[in-house]
């Protein structure tokens, strides 16, 4: 068996360097959201989807657009409203009078990065239109399965404070999101920086003028995914992930714990984080770093715990403090 060429062995390192450069590139447009950017990159590496939760005006849309520009990927945005139909997302058959035949008109889901804005403002029927796309990476219309582009990621947003007139996402759909990322308000210094940039002429609608350029592409992403798949996981780390998820099922504060799918998701995100930080093996700190965003939307609080002010994050944090860490 011949040895791999230097180009082949160096490529994963170049891919890591390129993906690390995303933070600096996106920071040209988005201030103070490094952890959210990292979360979306982890989701891309794991072929997963993200749910972004934050109040309006925290640059969620700008973040996704900046990420797409930095990765040289196509992106589309759908504003979810109560009257949005499933075909408005997936596409539909359109009758062509010239040929007297029906042809498929692709919907906005046929893209690399789909921003599903305020996904909880549309009924379950339209929300479910994304389920096949997210899970199978295809859309079936009139019995014909149509594959989606690769890579494909859904970044859905929801407002955490205004629930009137919304349709909460069912557990089955929440479980399809690899990560739930909370988008915080910026610090005072970051907010001053935002205002200064706008005063100097920055326009969120003109990313080219902001100086954002492509620092990675789909080839880098594919090389990175292959490297993540080779990241070693010891039996002790696998057992640690399982113990954390089993502890959520036994917690008196939770009516619903993380499923085995949640355990596999946590292992995947921990591997991606380990690779991004420069290691080819997973350590317990990698699992701890991704436990909250990977599990917070996969557990359900008991009503009495919720009334006492307990949150999913506080329960998972307590579990991480009590589950024995492998040495």
Contact in structure between 46 and 272 (CB atoms under 8 Å): yes
C-alpha span between 222 and 151 (Å, rounded): 9
The shares of helix, strand and coil residues in the chain, as percent rounded to the nearest 5, are 45, 15, 35
Three-point CA angle 133, 80, 139, nearest 5°:
15
Q: State how far the Cα of 74 lies from the Cα of 51, in Å rounded to an integer.
A: 19
- pLDDT tens digits, one per residue of 129-188: 888 889 899 998 888 889 999 899 999 998 776 666 678 887 878 888 999 999 888 889
Q: Tell me, what's the pLDDT at 296?
A: 96
Q: What is d(CA 123, CA 117) in angstroms, rounded to the nearest whole number?
A: 14
Q: Which two tokens stand for residue 238?
A: 């696998």
Cross-strand pairs, 116: 78, 156
User: Which residues lie below 8 Å from residue 207, measured CB to CB, with a gap of 6+?
Assistant: 29, 65, 66, 69
Q: How confident is the model at residue 252 (pLDDT cuts 50, 70, 90)?
A: very high
Percentage of the residues of the chain whose pLDDT score is greater than 70: 95
pLDDT mean across residues, the chain: 88
Give me the pLDDT at residue 8, please. 40
Tokens of 297: 């939307």
The per-residue pLDDT for 164 is 65
In angstroms, the CA 205 to CA 13 distance is: 33
Mean per-residue pLDDT for 40-50? 94
Check whether 15 has a pLDDT greater than 50: yes
Reference 156, options 268, 79, 221, 266; nearest CA is 79
Residues paired with residue 113 on neighbouring β-strands, in sequence order: 75, 153
Residue 69 has pLDDT above 50, yes or no: yes
């Amino acid at each position: 068996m011949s040895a791999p060429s230097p180009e082949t062995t160096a490529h994963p390192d170049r891919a890591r360097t390129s993906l690390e450069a995303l933070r600096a590139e996106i920071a040209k447009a988005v201030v103070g959201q490094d952890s959210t950017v990292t979360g979306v990159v982890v989701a891309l590496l794991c072929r997963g989807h993200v749910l972004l939760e934050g109040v309006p005006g925290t640059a969620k849309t700008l973040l996704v657009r900046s990420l797409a520009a930095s990765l040289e990927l196509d992106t589309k945005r759908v504003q979810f409203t109560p009257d949005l139909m499933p075909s408005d997302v997936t596409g539909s058959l359109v009758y062509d009078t010239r040929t007297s035949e029906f042809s498929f008109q692709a919907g906005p889901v046929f893209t690399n990065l789909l921003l599903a804005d305020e996904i909880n403002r549309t009924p379950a029927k339209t929300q479910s239109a994304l389920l096949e796309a997210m899970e199978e990476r295809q859309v079936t219309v009139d019995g014909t399965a149509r594959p989606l582009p690769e890579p494909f990621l859904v970044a859905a947003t929801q407002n955490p404070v205004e629930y009137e007139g919304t349709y909460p996402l069912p557990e089955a759909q929440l479980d399809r999101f690899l990560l739930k990322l909370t988008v915080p308000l910026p610090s005072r210094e970051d907010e001053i920086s935002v205002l200064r940039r706008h005063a100097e002429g920055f326009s969120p609608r003109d990313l080219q003028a902001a100086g954002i350029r492509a620092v990675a592409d789909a080839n880098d992403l594919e090389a990175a995914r292959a490297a993540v798949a080779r990241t070693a996981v010891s039996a002790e780390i696998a057992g640690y992930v399982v113990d954390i998820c089993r502890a959520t099922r036994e917690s008196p504060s939770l009516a619903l714990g993380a499923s085995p799918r949640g355990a596999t998701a946590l292992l995947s995100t921990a591997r991606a984080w380990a690779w991004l930080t420069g290691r080819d093996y997973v350590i317990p700190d990698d699992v701890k770093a991704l436990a909250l965003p990977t599990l917070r939307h996969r557990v359900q609080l008991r009503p009495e715990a919720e009334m006492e002010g307990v949150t999913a994050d506080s329960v998972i944090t307590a579990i991480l403090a009590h589950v024995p860490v492998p040495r």
